[in-house]
Copies of this chain bind each other. A is one copy, B any other.
Amino acid sequence: MILILKDHPDPNQLENLENWLTSMGLTLHESQGENHLILGLVGDTSAVDIDLVKALDIVQDVRRIQEPYKKANRKFHPLPTVSSVGDVQVGGGAFAVFAGPGAVESEEQIHRLAGLVKQAGADVLTAGAFLSRTSPYAFSGLGVSALRQLSAAGKAAGIATASELTDLRTLDAFEEIDGVILGPGNMTNTALLKALGATNKCVILCRGLSSTVEEWLMSAEYLLSGGNENVVLCDQGVRGFDSACRLAADLSSVPLAHMLTHLPVMYAPSMATGRQELAAPLGLAAAAAGADGVWLTCHDDPEHALFAGGESLTPAALSTLVQDMRRVRKAGEA
């Protein structure tokens, strides 16, 4: 960490500052710039509150040198982590396809879709039991019973399962579900992060709609520092200014996150665009950009889906896309 001091700092204040920093076990290097005295802090600066230091009267600016995440940092863990959703591996070379309807609608529906999605080439079946809806009047999922039906459908079809957790009190109900999805609205929900960090459940950690890649990795750090290393990052799109699509599909997060962390990184084109006709080209793009997998919405009757119909691919479209993505991935690597 580097502190840039204001011109002509008060000597007493400077001495106080230096004493305080030294008392935190840091070594200081002074260097005099043309207009500014600069203090370099050597040692473990993770306990230094950057905003606090900025607020000091004699400090003009503070620049961090070290990334604030440690366990998620590729620098200290160069090999890619391979996470596991049931027996499906994500990261380290494979290309995982998560797919399913926006919501479990009935036992029959999820059993039918489990088969269709598996047949289309997907590795993990996803379906919502607890939906984060903008409107209190909208269908919000069938709850715990939907988790039971999802798990049973996955087992019957021989496909791993994942679903979104929105409330700590229902964590136990995910026992038979292979992957717990933390949606973008819960990326900074520290209560959920801490609870999941204490399990060995695979967590698919979605990027918040206005979270930087660094903030996303800090949320992963909550999980890792809690002891859970079975983590998959998934970008669902970020808030942008063009209302033609639901969100902005900034794919640079995929290679950027790969540079910064060893964790696997997926992309969710259906959620990002909100439009099934854009999900396919963005799925191909994510595969080409090196994503470790994609998460797609799929329904065999989108027009009557209870949730997320507009972004849902049919099983036939999914099947074609899965083949195309795998071919593109291979072509990009060759």
By a beta-carbon cutoff of 8 Å, the part of chain A in contact with chain B is 2, 4, 29, 31-36, 38, 40, 42-44, 46-47, 49, 51-52, 54-57, 61, 63, 65-66, 68, 132-140, 166-169, 185-186, 188-191, 193, 209-210, 212-215, 218, 221-222, 225-226, 238-245, 248-256, 259, 272-274, 276-278, 281-282, 284-290, 302-312, 324, 327-328, 330-332, 334
A136 touches B226 (CB 8 A): yes
**Hey, which chain B residues are within 8 Å of A65, CB to CB?**
4, 33, 36, 38, 61
B245 touches A252 (CB 8 A): yes
B242 touches A240 (CB 8 A): no
This chain's copy number in the assembly: 4
7 tightest CB-CB pairs across the interface, nearest first? A210-B210, A51-B310, A288-B288, A167-B191, A331-B331, A210-B239, A55-B310
- Cα A120 to Cα B321 with chains together (Å): 31
Q: When the two chains form the complex, which single residue of B51, B140, B251, B310 contacts A282, counting CB atoms closer than 8 Å?
A: B251
A281 touches B276 (CB 8 A): no
- Cα A183 to Cα B183 with chains together (Å): 17
B166 touches A168 (CB 8 A): no
- Cα A332 to Cα B289 with chains together (Å): 13
A134 touches B188 (CB 8 A): yes
B51 touches A40 (CB 8 A): no
**Hey, which chain B residues are within 8 Å of A42, CB to CB?**
32-34
**Hey, which chain B residues are within 8 Å of A304, CB to CB?**
52
- Cα A249 to Cα B66 with chains together (Å): 26
- Cα A206 to Cα B1 with chains together (Å): 32
CB of A294 to closest CB in B, whole Å: 12
B277 touches A259 (CB 8 A): yes
Q: Closest B-chain residue to A215, C-beta based? A: B134
**Hey, which chain B residues are within 8 Å of A328, CB to CB?**
288, 328, 331-332
Q: When the two chains form the complex, which single residue of B56, B226, B290, B312 contacts A303, counting CB atoms closer than 8 Å?
A: B56
Q: When the two chains form the complex, which single residue of B38, B44, B253, B311 contacts A51, counting CB atoms closer than 8 Å?
A: B311
CB of A244 to closest CB in B, whole Å: 6
Question: 11 more A-B contacts (CB under 8 A) besides A29-B33, A51-B309, A288-B328?
Answer: A29-B32, A49-B306, A54-B310, A166-B190, A213-B244, A240-B248, A249-B251, A251-B285, A255-B281, A288-B332, A324-B332
A281 touches B254 (CB 8 A): yes
B289 touches A135 (CB 8 A): no
**Hey, which chain B residues are within 8 Å of A4, CB to CB?**
65
B218 touches A135 (CB 8 A): yes
**Hey, which chain B residues are within 8 Å of A47, CB to CB?**
137
CB of A181 to closest CB in B, whole Å: 15
Q: Most B CB atoms within 10 A — which of A55, A238, A245, A285?
A: A285
CB of A182 to closest CB in B, whole Å: 12
- Known contacts A55-B309, A221-B135, A274-B51; is-contact A250 B259 (Cβ 8 Å): no
- Cα A332 to Cα B324 with chains together (Å): 6
CB of A16 to closest CB in B, whole Å: 9
CB of A78 to closest CB in B, whole Å: 12
